[in-house]
């Protein structure tokens, strides 16, 4: 009975551990890039922004296309003027209807009118410039989407390298923990044989505890980096991602550009946005000019609903010119002019800021390149130092404190070297992002 109980307990605990275990999914950078392109929410939002801009542009088709409306109206009246006009439209007037008594006090009259009305813009200069502004805005959104995609690809590169670095840190600290635990066993044996003091054993135990804490933090960094990549891919599976590509020194195809290209998508988007402000300013100025529109209507009249025994049409052209609308149009024109000047200043400022970022990125790359060689040399030297001190410690010729210092230094130099690889690759990726046209 007890054996069955133990078996059931073991199965239950195993089942719970399986439920609580987090799936580890290996993934390559190419897979991450593809899944971000397909599922990232920022890309989807930018596409909807473009759809809005395109819809605004399509609304401006109204300056070319006619406005057509159909209505059916029914009235019942004893108003002398309305009653006489209704009968006139229905073509029902007789000589008796001109009787003054009937004209002044008509009977109740019903009128049902079906009206088809067409309005056709001919010349509306303000509408033409508004359409031009909407088109510039739509084109600017196209380039903005392109830059958003470029930024997300750069962000994926950085996030994937952070995940690689986090796993490298875990590997380094696991090896450091193994070395620390091995040294602890040697220290315990030496203490039992009277070669070491209790303080030396405690120092080794403190080192083991420190490495365990660092390892736990490194594992948390792995989960944070994995969660961020899942967020970029819009993945809610809560799986732990593991990179299949190792952290190595990358060599991108860098563009040796000393100046920021004005053909870069975000800069072109700002230029088009400035063009849109310019067109809106011209549109506001064009409101001072007259507009020319054609109109026409076809009407059906009857004293019964949805009938039309009588009909007639009306066509015409209207030239309208608002000479003075208070100071509203002047103020609106001045406001759009200020917005246009502001957009030009923002464009120049953005160019200067982009050039500043490019110069900074170049210096960052050069610093990382120099640091890479030095950190590699420091790691190799600290490794050799640890090897020598470990051999001497095993022979009882080295102090425990010196061994712990060498061990700590080697782990730090390893982490610094992998961090430098990350900085070097990141600097190249950032330069590529800034110089992409």
d(CA 411, CA 25): 28
Residue 17 lies in a domain: no
Rg (CA), the chain: 40
Q: How many domains does the chain have?
A: 2
If one counts every other C-beta atom within 10 angstroms of the C-beta of residue 110, the result is 15
Over the stretch 334-370, which tens digit does the pLDDT of each residue have? 999 999 999 999 999 999 999 999 999 999 999 999 9
Q: Are residues 178 and 267 in the same domain?
A: yes
Q: Are residues 55 and 143 in the same domain?
A: yes
Find out whether 115 and 71 touch, Cβ atoms under 8 Å.
yes
Q: Are residues 144 and 43 in the same domain?
A: yes
Residue 184 lies in a domain: yes
Mean pLDDT of 231-258: 83
Long-range contacts of 339-343 (CB under 8 A, 24+ apart): 339/277, 339/280, 339/281, 340/274, 340/277, 340/278, 340/280, 340/281, 342/277, 343/270, 343/273, 343/274, 343/277, 343/278
CATH number of the domain to which 347 belongs: 1.20.1600.10
Over the stretch 163-172, which tens digit does the pLDDT of each residue have? 999 999 999 8
Q: Are residues 78 and 221 in the same domain?
A: no
Q: Are residues 55 and 84 in the same domain?
A: no
Q: Are residues 262 and 168 in the same domain?
A: yes
314 φ, ψ to 5°?
-145, 130
Domain interval for residue 265: 22-65+125-287+326-435
Q: Are residues 114 and 129 in the same domain?
A: no
Q: In which residue are the tokens 């800034």 written?
A: 434
Q: Are residues 266 and 392 in the same domain?
A: yes
Range in 25-39, 90-104, 160-174, 183-197 the model is least confident about? 183-197
Residue 4 lies in a domain: no
Q: Are residues 39 and 129 in the same domain?
A: yes
**pLDDT for res 143:** 96
Q: Are residues 250 and 313 in the same domain?
A: no
Over the stretch 1-12, which tens digit does the pLDDT of each residue have? 445 544 544 444
Q: Are residues 119 and 129 in the same domain?
A: no
Over the stretch 379-393, which tens digit does the pLDDT of each residue have? 889 888 888 888 887
**pLDDT for res 9:** 47
Residue 14 has pLDDT above 50, yes or no: no
Q: Are residues 155 and 198 in the same domain?
A: yes
């Amino acid at each position: 009975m007890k054996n069955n109980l133990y078996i059931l307990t073991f199965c239950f605990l195993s089942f719970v551990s399986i439920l609580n275990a987090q799936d580890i999914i290996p993934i390559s950078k190419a897979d991450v890039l593809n899944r971000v392109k397909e599922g990232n929410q920022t890309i989807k939002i930018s596409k909807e922004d473009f759809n809005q801009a395109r819809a605004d542009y399509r609304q401006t088709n109204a300056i070319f296309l006619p406005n057509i409306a159909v209505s059916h109206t029914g009235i019942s009246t004893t108003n002398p003027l309305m009653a006489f006009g209704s009968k006139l439209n229905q073509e029902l007037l007789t000589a008796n209807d001109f009787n003054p008594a009937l004209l002044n006090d008509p009977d109740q009259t019903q009128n049902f009118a079906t009206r088809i009305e067409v309005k056709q813009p001919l010349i509306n200069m303000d509408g033409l410039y508004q359409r031009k502004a909407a088109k510039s805005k739509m084109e600017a959104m196209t380039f903005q989407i392109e830059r958003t995609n470029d930024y997300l690809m750069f962000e994926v590169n950085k996030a994937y390298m952070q995940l690689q670095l986090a796993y490298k840190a875990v590997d380094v600290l696991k090896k450091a923990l193994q070395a620390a635990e091995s040294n602890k066993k040697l220290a315990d044996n030496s203490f039992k044989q009277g070669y070491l003091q209790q303080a030396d054993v405690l120092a080794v135990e403190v080192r083991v505890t420190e490495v365990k804490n660092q390892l736990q933090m490194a594992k948390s960094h792995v989960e944070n980096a994995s969660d961020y990549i899942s967020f970029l891919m819009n993945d809610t599976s809560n799986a732990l991602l593991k990179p299949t590509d190792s952290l190595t020194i990358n060599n991108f195809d860098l563009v040796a550009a000393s100046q920021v290209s004005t053909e870069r998508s975000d800069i072109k988007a700002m230029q088009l946005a400035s063009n849109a402000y310019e067109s809106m300013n011209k549109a506001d100025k064009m409101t001072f000019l007259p507009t020319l529109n054609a109109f026409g209507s076809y009407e059906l009249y009857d004293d019964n609903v949805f009938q039309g025994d009588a009909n007639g049409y009306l066509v015409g052209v209207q030239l309208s010119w608002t000479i003075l609308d208070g100071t509203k149009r002047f103020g609106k024109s001045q406001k759009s002019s200020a917005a246009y000047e502001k957009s030009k200043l923002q464009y120049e400022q953005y160019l200067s800021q982009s050039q500043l970022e490019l110069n900074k990125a170049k210096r960052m790359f050069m610093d990382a390149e120099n640091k890479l060689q030095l950190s590699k040399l420091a790691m190799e030297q600290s490794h050799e130092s640890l090897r020598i001190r470990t051999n001497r410690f095993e022979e009882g010729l080295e102090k425990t404190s010196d061994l712990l210092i060498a061990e700590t230094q080697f782990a730090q130099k390893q982490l610094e070297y992998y961090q430098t690889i990350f900085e070097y690759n990141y600097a190249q990726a950032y330069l590529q992002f800034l110089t992409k046209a």
